C-alpha cells in the first residue's frame, strides 16, 4: 500500500523585510525587537484569523500557507494595512516594511516546512513587490478577484530567476491606495571604496565628489516621459565623458560605460536600458532629466573618466531625476590594472544605494571580471561599437577587432561570443553578403568554431546564441528545429534572462521561441519587453513584433509597423518580404508588388519568382502553427504576381483552351483565398478537364476559397478516391465544409 503523498495545492504568502540590512546596521537591537513585535502582534494573529499556518521563517522573512487564495490575499492586505498604521509617525529610514508575494501552486511538506515550485514562485514574486506592496501570480488573482474588492494592476509576463516559464504577475492594492515609492534616496558614502588592493595609491589625499545640499532644478517630468516608468527601479547610463584630454582615451571610457551597463543589467530588481540605446547619446550634450524622459527611467548614471599614464580617475553619480537630487556620488582613483574591479564595485554600490538585494548568482556575475587585459578590452570595444550599428559593412568590420581581443586574451568569453554572433548574422539576414565572393558555408563554419570556444566560458550571450541555433539553422525536421528544438530554445532563453534580466536580446529570443511555438501573444509580450529595454532597438525587433501580429492575423497593424520601421531604416531589407506578404493578404496588391520590387531591387526581374518561392523566413513556425509558414509564402507569392493581375483577369485565363495557362491561372487564384469566390463556376468546370494537373489545381483553389466554394462540393465528392486528384478533391471538400461550419458558429 502506497503511503499518503506529502504533495498538495496551497496558497503561499512569502514576505520579506525591505532594507533589512540597512535597518539592522542602523539599529540592530531595535530592528530585532520591532520584528518580534510585528510577528506576535500582526503576523501571527492575522495568519490565525484567515486560517493560515506559518511554515518557514528566517529572521527577516516569513512563509505562510493558506487553504485558499482568497484567504491568503485577505491576510496580505490586512498585514500591509496594519503595518502602515504602525509606521504612521515613524521616520522613513526606521519604518519596517514588508514585501509580499502570493502564489497558488504545488507544495511538498518537509516536516513543518514547505518546499516546491509553488513556494519558489511566491518568493520570486515577493522580490518584485514594492516595500509595503503585494505582487500576486495570475493563479492567485484568478481565484481571488471575484471575492475581493481590490486593484489588480497587470505587470505582464515576468521572467524570474530559476523559473523556466514566464510568470504573469499583478500588483495588488486595496482600492484607492496610493502606490509606495519604489526606491529611497540615500546620502553619499563618506569614504573611498577599498578592497582587492584598489585605490591604495590615492587613499591618502583623494576627495569625494560630494552631492550638493540644494535640489537640482533639472527634474524629469512624468508627462514628458516617452514611456511609462517600470514598476521596479529603472536606470539608464549616459556614456562616461572622456576627460583624458589631448591624448584621448575614448575606448577605455566607452568600455567602462558598457561594462557598467552589463553589470547593472544582471540585477533582477533593476530595469536597465541597454547599451545600444545609451550609446545613441554618445558625445551629446544632454541633461540627465532629458535623458531620463527619452528613455523612460527614473535614475540616471553619468560621469567622466580620465587616464593619466598607468593611473585613472573616474567621477560617477546616480541622480533621481524625479526630484533632481543626487542619490549617490563618488570619485575613484587607482591603478589602471584595477579599473575593472572598480567598475564592478560601482555596480554594487549603485545596487546598495537603491536598496536592491543581490543573490549570490547576481553578485558573482557582477564581481567576475571578463578580462584583465586593457588592450583586449579596448579592442573589444572597437568591435562592439561597429557591431552595434547593425549593418553588413560595420558587422564585417567588427570581426578583426573581436579577433584581436581574443588573441590578446584567449579566456575572454564575451569577446568569443560576439565574434561568433558576427559570423552568424549574415546567415540569419539573408540579404547580407558578408564574405563577398566566397561560400556562405565559410561563415557558418567559423560561427561553429567560435561557438565552441564561447561555450567554454559562462557568458549570458552564449545561451542566446544556442537558442538562435535551435530556432533558425537549417536542421528543421531533423530533431532540432521541431518542437524539441523550440523547447530547448526556450530553456536557453530563460537561462539568459535569469543571468542578465535586462538583456533585450535574451527577451527577444524568448519572444522568437514563443511565437514559433504558436504562442504569439506571449511572444509579443517578450518582444515588446525587449523593445522597452532598448528604445533605440535595431530594425529586426520590429520584424518579430510584426511576425507575432501576422500569426494573430492582424495584418493591418503588422504592415503599419513594418512600413513605419522601413521609413526609419530604409535599408532594412529583412523586413520587406513580411511587409509584402501582409500587404498582399490585406488586399493591397499594388503596395505589395511595390514592396517586393523594392526588396528585389538590383536583381533581374526574371529571378523574382524563384527568389519569392525559395525565400526562407527568419522565423519558422512549428507544430499546429506550421500553416503560418504556408500563409507567409502564399502572401509573398501573391505580392509577386505580375502588375495588373486580378481575380477577373485570372478568370478569363481559366476559359482559355491551353491547359498550361489554366493550371497557372488556377494556382494564382488560390493565393487570393476567399476573394477568388467569383471564379468558382469556372473552377468547377475545370474539375472535368482532361488534364489531371488542371483538375488538381482547380480542386486546391476551391479548397482555399472556403465556404463560398460550396456549389462545387458535389463535383469534388465525385472525384474523391480517384488517385492523386481524388485525394486533392477530398481535402478541398473537407476545407470547404470546415469553413462552412465555422461561418455557422
Query: pLDDT, tens digit, for every residue of 580-624?
Result: 999 999 989 899 999 999 998 877 777 888 888 878 888 889 888
Percent of the chain with pLDDT over 70: 89
Q: What is the pLDDT of residue 481?
A: 42
Q: What is the pLDDT of residue 203?
A: 28
In whole angstroms, give the CA distance from residue 349 to residue 167.
29
Return the CATH superfamily for domain 7-174.
Nucleotide cyclase, GGDEF domain (3.30.70.1230)
pLDDT of residue 525 exceeding 70, the answer is yes
Contact 169, 135 (CB under 8 A): yes
CA 591 from centre of chain: 31
Lowest mean pLDDT among 37-51, 90-104, 210-224, 671-685: 210-224
pLDDT of residue 187 exceeding 90, the answer is no
Burial (CB count within 10 angstroms: exposed 0-12, middle 13-18, buried 19+), residue 177 = middle
pLDDT of residue 291 exceeding 90, the answer is yes
Q: What is the pLDDT of residue 202?
A: 30
Nearest CA to 680 out of 706, 719, 658 is that of: 706
Kindly indicate the confidence band of residue 289, based on its pLDDT and cuts at 50, 70 and 90: very high
**Prediction pTM value:** 0.69
Q: What does the pLDDT average to over 351-357? A: 90
pLDDT of residue 191 exceeding 60, the answer is no
Long-range residue pairs from 662-667, CB within 8 A, at least 24 positions apart, any chain: 662/686, 662/689, 662/691, 662/694, 662/697, 663/691, 663/693, 663/694, 663/697, 666/694, 666/697, 666/698, 666/700, 666/701, 667/697, 667/700, 667/701
Task: Give the mean pLDDT of the chain.
Answer: 84
- 3-class secondary structure per residue, 655-676: CCCCHHHHHHHHHHHHCCHHHH
pLDDT of residue 199 exceeding 90, the answer is no
In whole angstroms, give the CA distance from residue 577 to residue 636.
7
Q: What angle, 0 to 180 degrees and rounded to 10, lies between the N-to-C axes of helices 483-499 and 504-516?
A: 160
Q: What does the pLDDT average to over 273-299? A: 92
pLDDT of residue 181 exceeding 60, the answer is no
How does DSSP classify residue 205?
Answer: T
Q: What does the pLDDT average to over 192-198? A: 29
Q: What does the pLDDT average to over 719-737? A: 86
* Model pLDDT for residues 616-664, shown as the tens digit of each residue: 888 889 888 888 998 999 999 999 998 888 899 999 999 887 889 999 9
Instruction: Classify domain 647-744 at the CATH topology level.
Output: 1.25.10
Kindly indicate the confidence band of residue 198, based on its pLDDT and cuts at 50, 70 and 90: very low
Kindly indicate the confidence band of residue 58, based on its pLDDT and cuts at 50, 70 and 90: low
* Model pLDDT for residues 84-129, shown as the tens digit of each residue: 999 888 887 788 999 999 999 888 887 777 888 889 899 889 888 8
Q: Does domain 200-369 have CATH number 3.40.50.2300?
A: no
How does DSSP classify residue 301?
Answer: E
Q: What is the pLDDT of residue 59?
A: 65
Q: What does the pLDDT average to over 3-13? A: 76
Q: What is the pLDDT of residue 194?
A: 28
Q: What is the pLDDT of residue 430?
A: 63
Comparing 184 with 333, which gets the higher pLDDT? 333
Kindly indicate the confidence band of residue 433, based on its pLDDT and cuts at 50, 70 and 90: low
Kindly indicate the confidence band of residue 484, based on its pLDDT and cuts at 50, 70 and 90: low
CB atoms within 10 A of CB 256: 26
Lowest mean pLDDT among 56-65, 267-276, 420-429: 56-65
Q: How many residues does the chain have?
A: 745
Q: Identify the CATH class of 538-643.
A: mainly alpha
Q: What does the pLDDT average to over 694-714? A: 91
How does DSSP classify residue 430?
Answer: T
Concatenated DSSP letters for 438-450? S-THHHHHHHHHH
**Rounded alpha-carbon distances, angstroms, from residue 707 to 359, 378, 402, 493, 740:** 59, 64, 58, 42, 5
Amino acid at each position: 500500500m502506497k503511503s499518503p503523498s506529502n504533495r498538495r495545492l496551497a496558497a503561499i504568502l512569502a514576505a520579506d523585510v525591505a532594507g533589512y540590512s540597512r535597518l539592522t546596521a542602523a539599529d540592530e537591537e531595535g530592528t530585532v525587537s520591532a520584528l518580534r513585535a510585528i510577528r506576535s502582534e500582526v503576523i501571527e494573529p492575522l495568519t490565525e484569523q484567515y486560517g493560515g499556518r506559518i511554515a518557514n521563517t528566517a529572521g527577516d522573512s516569513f512563509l505562510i500557507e493558506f487553504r485558499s487564495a482568497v484567504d491568503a490575499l485577505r491576510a496580505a492586505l490586512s498585514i500591509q494595512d496594519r503595518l502602515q498604521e504602525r509606521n504612521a509617525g515613524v521616520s522613513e529610514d526606521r519604518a519596517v516594511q514588508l514585501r509580499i508575494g502570493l502564489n497558488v501552486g504545488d507544495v511538498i511538506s518537509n516536516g513543518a516546512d514547505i518546499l516546491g515550485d509553488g513556494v519558489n514562485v511566491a518568493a520570486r514574486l515577493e522580490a518584485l513587490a514594492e516595500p509595503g506592496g503585494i505582487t500576486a501570480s495570475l493563479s492567485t488573482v484568478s481565484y481571488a478577484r471575484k471575492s475581493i474588492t481590490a486593484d489588480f494592476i497587470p505587470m505582464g509576463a515576468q521572467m524570474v530567476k530559476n523559473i523556466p516559464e514566464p510568470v504573469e504577475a499583478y500588483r495588488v492594492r486595496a482600492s484607492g491606495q496610493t502606490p509606495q515609492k519604489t526606491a529611497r534616496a540615500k546620502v553619499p558614502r563618506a569614504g573611498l571604496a577599498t578592497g582587492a588592493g584598489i585605490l591604495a595609491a590615492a587613499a591618502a589625499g583623494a576627495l569625494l565628489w560630494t552631492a550638493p545640499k540644494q535640489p537640482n532644478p533639472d527634474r524629469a517630468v512624468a508627462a514628458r516621459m516617452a514611456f511609462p516608468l517600470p514598476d521596479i527601479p529603472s536606470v539608464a547610463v549616459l556614456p562616461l565623458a572622456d576627460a583624458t584630454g589631448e591624448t584621448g582615451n575614448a575606448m577605455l571610457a566607452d568600455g567602462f560605460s558598457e561594462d557598467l551597463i552589463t553589470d547593472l543589467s544582471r540585477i533582477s530588481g533593476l530595469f536597465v536600458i541597454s547599451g545600444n540605446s545609451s550609446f545613441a547619446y554618445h558625445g551629446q550634450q544632454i541633461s540627465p532629466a532629458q535623458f531620463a524622459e527619452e528613455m523612460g527611467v527614473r535614475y540616471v548614471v553619468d560621469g567622466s573618466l580620465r587616464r593619466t599614464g598607468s593611473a585613472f580617475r573616474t567621477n560617477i553619480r546616480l541622480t533621481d531625476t524625479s526630484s533632481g537630487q543626487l542619490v549617490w556620488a563618488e570619485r575613484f582613483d587607482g591603478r589602471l590594472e584595477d579599473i575593472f574591479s572598480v567598475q564592478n564595485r560601482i555596480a554594487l554600490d549603485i545596487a546598495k544605494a537603491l536598496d536592491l538585494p543581490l543573490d549570490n548568482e547576481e553578485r558573482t556575475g557582477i564581481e567576475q571580471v571578463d578580462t584583465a587585459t586593457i588592450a583586449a578590452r579596448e579592442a573589444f570595444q572597437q568591435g562592439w561599437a561597429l557591431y552595434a550599428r547593425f549593418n553588413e559593412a560595420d558587422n564585417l568590420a567588427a570581426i578583426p577587432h573581436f579577433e584581436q581581443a581574443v588573441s590578446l586574451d584567449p579566456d575572454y568569453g564575451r569577446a568569443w561570443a560576439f565574434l561568433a554572433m558576427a559570423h552568424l548574422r549574415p546567415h540569419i539576414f539573408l540579404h547580407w553578403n558578408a564574405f563577398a565572393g566566397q561560400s556562405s558555408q565559410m561563415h557558418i563554419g567559423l560561427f561553429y568554431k567560435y561557438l565552441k570556444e564561447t561555450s567554454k566560458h559562462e557568458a549570458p550571450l552564449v545561451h542566446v546564441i544556442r537558442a538562435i541555433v535551435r530556432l533558425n539553422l537549417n536542421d528543421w525536421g531533423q530533431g532540432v528545429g521541431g518542437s524539441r528544438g523550440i523547447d530547448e530554445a526556450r530553456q536557453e532563453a530563460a537561462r539568459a534572462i535569469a543571468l542578465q534580466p535586462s538583456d533585450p536580446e535574451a527577451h527577444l529570443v524568448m519572444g522568437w521561441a514563443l511565437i514559433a511555438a504558436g504562442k504569439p501573444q506571449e511572444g509579443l509580450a517578450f518582444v515588446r519587453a525587449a523593445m522597452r529595454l532598448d528604445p533605440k532597438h535595431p530594425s529586426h525587433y520590429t520584424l518579430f513584433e510584426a511576425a507575432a501580429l501576422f500569426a494573430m492575423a492582424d495584418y493591418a497593424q503588422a504592415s503599419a509597423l513594418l512600413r513605419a520601421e522601413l521609413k526609419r531604416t530604409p535599408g532594412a531589407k529583412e523586413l520587406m518580404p513580411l511587409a509584402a506578404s501582409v500587404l498582399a493578404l490585406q488586399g493591397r496588391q499594388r503596395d505589395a508588388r511595390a514592396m517586393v520590387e523594392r526588396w528585389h531591387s538590383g536583381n533581374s526581374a526574371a529571378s523574382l519568382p524563384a527568389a519569392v518561392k525559395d525565400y526562407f523566413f527568419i522565423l519558422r513556425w512549428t507544430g499546429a502553427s506550421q500553416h503560418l509558414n504556408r500563409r507567409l509564402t502564399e502572401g509573398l507569392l501573391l505580392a509577386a504576381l505580375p502588375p495588373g493581375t486580378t481575380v477577373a483577369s485570372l478568370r478569363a485565363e481559366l476559359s482559355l483552351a491551353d491547359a498550361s495557362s489554366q493550371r497557372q491561372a488556377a494556382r494564382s487564384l488560390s493565393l487570393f483565398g476567399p476573394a477568388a469566390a467569383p471564379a468558382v463556376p469556372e473552377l468547377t468546370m475545370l474539375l472535368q478537364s482532361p488534364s489531371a494537373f488542371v483538375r488538381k489545381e482547380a480542386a486546391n483553389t476551391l479548397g482555399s476559397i472556403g465556404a463560398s466554394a460550396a456549389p462545387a462540393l458535389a463535383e469534388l465528392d465525385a472525384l474523391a478516391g480517384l488517385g492523386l486528384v481524388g485525394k486533392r478533391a477530398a481535402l478541398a471538400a473537407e476545407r470547404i465544409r470546415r469553413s462552412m461550419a465555422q461561418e455557422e458558429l
